[in-house]
Amino acid sequence: MTPTLTSGRDPPHRQALPGSVMPWGTSVTIWCQGSLEAQEYRLLKEGELETWDRQKPLETKDKVKFPITHMADIYAGRYRCDYLSPTGWSEPSDPLELVVVTGASPLRVPAPGSCASRMGFHRFILMKEGERQPSWTLDSQPAPHGRTQALFPVGPVTPSLSWTFRCYGYYSNTPQVWSDPSDPLELLVSGVSGKPSLLTQQDTVVTSGQRLTLQCRSDVGYNKFALSKEGAPDLPQRLSRQTQSGLSGATFYLGLVRPSHGGRYKCYGGHNLSSEWSAPSDPLDILLAGQLSYTPSLSVLPGPTVAPGENVTLLCQSRSSVDTFLLSKEGAADPPLRLRSQYRAGQHQAEFPMSPVTSAHGGSYRCYGSASTSPYLLSQPSDPLELLVSGEGGTQTSHSREGDHRDPGRHRSSSQWVPPNDPTPPGLLTWTSKNSWDPLGVTNSAIKDCNTPTLWKSEQQTSQLPMKEMRKSKRKQENVYTEG
């Protein structure tokens, strides 16, 4: 503070240092600055009849300090100060709200823009990092599982700003006694540069006990990457590293698979000296098999051996209640196809048509069931069903497992797979073969298309190994990457 020349009746200025929102047990000082003619200063606390404190001016005559050595709830409140001069008492200062942060913490921010807690707080405060005053304050609303929450509209955001938030809760009878802050939530400002691609070393259908690893990569020279999960607040970040192919990338080790790992993931790229983030990658859905107790059955009509051009239907059935059936093909890059369940003849079922059959449809299939309330948690897998497309000298099934060599322009239509809660596609589309991903390199096709990737962008390269060696190589890959 610098000395100011005021008349003997002007209201003084007040300030709390180091801030007005203080953790329990810390020290804070309220400064009051008035006239050079001031003879005495008073500190008044709202709701108290008596003067809270009195101080004589310091050597500069125009200011005093009211120290609080150990912040506690009794010091939380609204303060004003005034001073006595030869002309009488001045007008009181504007109010200063002094807040103490206690040990009762709200839950983590469950989604961007929302704050929730099981502590029954009446109001929530949203604070933006770097600002001294609350950014938003809202009344709480009832939420599931006995919680209360507040939904904060935030924006508009701009790429030039960094947006990191924390929220607090408090009760209406103690508005200056706040909970501990939530964990920080970083709001990503996306869309300023090319989107990366998000890959998984495993199939997108995993089981408990597997290790889940996701990789984010781009042909843009990003210095860092962030991973986000739909509905989750945490945004783990990793520094980038260059691959042998000249791509930048980062690996996110998520540990042993748990039910909480099921969901939709995206990743972002960024630069160290900027708060800007790229557009998000295409979404990657991680599905957990074996979370529901029943096991559906899978059959094929007219039979497991068909000729090219025929019409084939894969039928998934269960006597248990099923909302949606999923059909997956071993070694396919595309996510499992989904169809809404229909109840017929005492069973829930879904028919996945293939019309007309091509050599690419040959392979091993399984089906799963899921519930609409938890679309990423699946039933036990059905027994595998082997579909053989005849007319290829008996080698088609092995060929479909080794890789699909069709024109990539055709199989991109398979990205029309419908995620949970979206309308169901009319039937089975084509399938794309999946490569195991080498952390140190990718195929040339992945490099050229990295800015507009699908979940699995690398196409199968033509192998120079003899068929016998290809089968041996495939068995080694299955031992590593397929679920037991």
**Strand 241-242's sheet: what is its strand order?**
197-200, 211-218, 248-256, 241-242
Q: Are strands 385-389 and 305-306 parallel, antiparallel or unpaired?
A: parallel
Domains 114-187 and 194-292+443-475 share a fold: yes
Q: Per residue in 71-94, pLDDT tens?
A: 999 999 999 999 999 999 999 999
Instruction: Please report, as a single letter, which amino acid is at residue 146.
Output: G
b (16+ CB within 10 A) / e for 137-160: ebebeebeeebbbbebebeeeeee
Give pLDDT < 70 ranges for the chain. Answer: 1-8, 103-113, 132-133, 155-162, 186-193, 233-236, 242-246, 273, 392-484
Is CATH 2.60.40.10 the classification given to domain 294-434? Answer: yes
Q: Is 371 exposed, middle or buried (0-12, 13-18, 19+ CB in 10 A)?
A: middle
Give the pTM. Answer: 0.49
Domain residue spans of the chain: 13-101, 114-187, 194-292+443-475, 294-434
Q: Per residue in 369-399, pLDDT tens?
A: 999 999 999 999 999 999 999 874 444 443 3
For the domain made up of 13-101, the CATH class stated in words is mainly beta
Name the CATH superfamily, with its identifier, for domain 194-292+443-475. Immunoglobulins (2.60.40.10)
State the pLDDT at residue 233.
67
- List C-alpha distances in Å: 51 to 9, 48, 244: 19, 7, 72
d(CA 134, CA 435): 50
| CATH number for the domain whose boundaries are 114-187 | 2.60.40.10
State the pLDDT at residue 335.
85
Structure tokens that stand for 244 in this block = 């042998």
